[in-house]
Each structure stands twice: as structure tokens, then as C-alpha cells.
Amino acid sequence: MALRIAVQMDPLEHVNINGDSTFALMLEAQRRGHELLVYPVESLCLGEGGAEATMGRLSARARAVKVQRVQGGHASFGEEMRLDLGATDAVLMRQDPPFDMGYITATHMLEHVHGVGEGKTLVVNDPKSVRDAPEKLLVTHYPDLMPPTLVTWDREALTQFRARYGDVILKPLYGNGGAGIFRIREGDENFASLLELHFSRSREPLMIQRYEPLVRKGDKRIILVDGKPIGAINRVPATGEARSNMHVGGRAEAVALTRRDEEICERIGSHLRENGLIFVGIDVIGEWLTEINVTSPTGLQELDRFNDMNSAGLVWDAIEQRIGRS
């Protein structure tokens, strides 16, 4: 049965059609006969009381869209309209972080329509679970799977951690795409200045981790659908770059899951499944889990190219099963 799908995303006009996972999900939804609409998060309206409730409790300025894999002509839009999100079957929450108060507020708003059953709209991923699981913090619930890590505002504690491990990675908690991540080697004199710069601009704590040299061989992105791994890609940092994110020049390679990878997925899988985190990407360096990405994970198109599969189809299988219309 055809579904009515709303996609909350950054401008579709600007996506990389050969790398964007949201675009892959939209192509597959269209192939299955589902109706697609897109809207920007900034157009959300939560109407309560009196006449405001007549347009639907939660609505957005949306456009119907058709997509195709044609560079420069990948999307054609209908007229903009006010869409009652409660009248859709599913919402894909796919705008990129930063995971700031705007992002958090959108999850609160989407909770007003989220659910499964008559009159409910399935939000993917579950907005409450996304709000409760910022990727660099959810992973801290599995300390035995992580490299040595500290999250704190305390500069003395950060300095002591660095003294203990020498070579470290500094990460902002709520960024994306590798933005603001620094490797500080032993003897580097910029550590204190970086702390000063961060805390002069932000009230958020920092994450500091022991640097894992195996990242030079790749940072593995494993895709899980409804708590089960469907495959992985290896992201190798560019020469002279500490970060492996493809946004900053990381190179994707084919890679198989190891027994350790499967152990990690088994440990976290039930939590993801039970909390409506249907499409998740985790990052593994060597033996260590470093992030659990639940906001707007990527990697589907690279996974398909290396493994001759339809990963977006597996995501939609899980969504349709949850809705009960498969």
C-alpha cells in the first residue's frame, strides 16, 4: 500500500545525488509507489487551541516532489502548501546537525504526531530517542566498548587526560561531518589555546579521547537497520588529515564486518530497536566504538556500490513493517 511520506531536510536542491543517503531513501520510496513531500524544519508550526488547531496540530510548508538520478535535474516540485504532518504516514527527520536547541525543539514538536497506529505518524528516527541520544554521548553507556574518553568542562581534567595519554583527539559534542575535531599530539603547544577558544565561544563541554593510530587504516562506518547490521564501509583519512569523514576528503573502501564489529552491534542493537532508532550508523576504529550516529546518518550509497545491495530498501522494509503496511 502506498504511503504518504514527509521528509524534513536541508534543501534538496543542493544534495549530492551520488552520495546523499536521504536522496537514496527518497528514490527507493518513490520506486515503491509512496508519495513524497519535503519541507524545511524552519517551517514547522505547532498550533494549539482555538482556530490554530484547524490546520493540524503540527504542520509545515511542504512541496510534493518527484526525484530522479539526473545531475542538475534531480528534483521537480509541486506548489508549496501547508501540510498537516498528522495526516502523513511517516516523517523522515533528516536535516543535518548541529544538534543545537533548534534541533532539540524540532524533536519536541514532532513528538506531537509520532506513533504507530490509527491517526499516528511514524517519525524516523523516534524524536524522543534522538533527543536522548546525541551520538557522542549515547556511546558512553557502553564504556567497555570505547577507547579511553572524557567529557567535561574542567580544563584541569582535560589537561590531566592529555598528560596521561599524550596523543589525543578533541571533539565538540554536537557537531557533524568532522567539524571542529582536532588531533593534539604529545608536545603540541596549542592545547591550552584550543581550550580557551572553545570555551570562549561555547558553554558546552568537550569530549577528549585517546588517539587510535589504527584510524590511518580506516574508520569503519557500520549501518544498522532496526538494530541489525546490514554492512559497512571503511573511511580512510586523506594524507595529512586526522579526520576520516567523507565531508573532509575521507576515501570510502569496501570492508567486511569482524567478530568484534558483530559483538558491538549485538550489544547495542536491542537498545536501538526498542527505542525506534531504525536507521543508525556507528563508527568503529580498530576494536573501539567511537560514535553512535542517530540524527542523520550517511553511508547508504557507498554501501550499495561496494556490496551490490539496496540498503535504502532494507530501511524501508523496516519502516513499512513498523507502520504495518508491508
**Cis before 293? omega within 30:** no
For residue 162, give the amino acid letter: R
Q: Is 283 a catalytic residue?
A: yes
The single residue of 20, 28, 243, 245 carrying the catalytic annotation is 243
Q: Is 217 a catalytic residue?
A: no
Measured between alpha carbons, how far is 326 from 191 in angstroms, rounded to an integer? 53
* Cβ contact 238:251 at 8 Å: yes
Q: Is 216 a catalytic residue?
A: no
The single residue of 162, 171, 210, 220 carrying the catalytic annotation is 171
Q: Is 235 a catalytic residue?
A: yes
Measured between alpha carbons, how far is 143 from 149 in angstroms, rounded to an integer? 9
The single residue of 131, 136, 162, 220 carrying the catalytic annotation is 136
Q: Is 18 a catalytic residue?
A: no
The single residue of 221, 261, 275, 302 carrying the catalytic annotation is 221
Q: Is 293 a catalytic residue?
A: yes
Q: Is 32 a catalytic residue?
A: no
Q: Is 221 a catalytic residue?
A: yes
The single residue of 126, 293, 302, 320 carrying the catalytic annotation is 293
Measured between alpha carbons, how far is 178 from 157 in angstroms, rounded to an integer? 24
The grid cell for 225 is 537497520
Range list of β-strands (E), the chain: 4-8, 35-39, 45-46, 58-67, 75-77, 81-84, 90-93, 122-124, 149-152, 168-172, 182-184, 206-210, 219-225, 228-236, 251-254, 279-285, 288-293
Q: Which residues are catalytic?
A: 136, 171, 221, 235, 243, 283, 291, 293
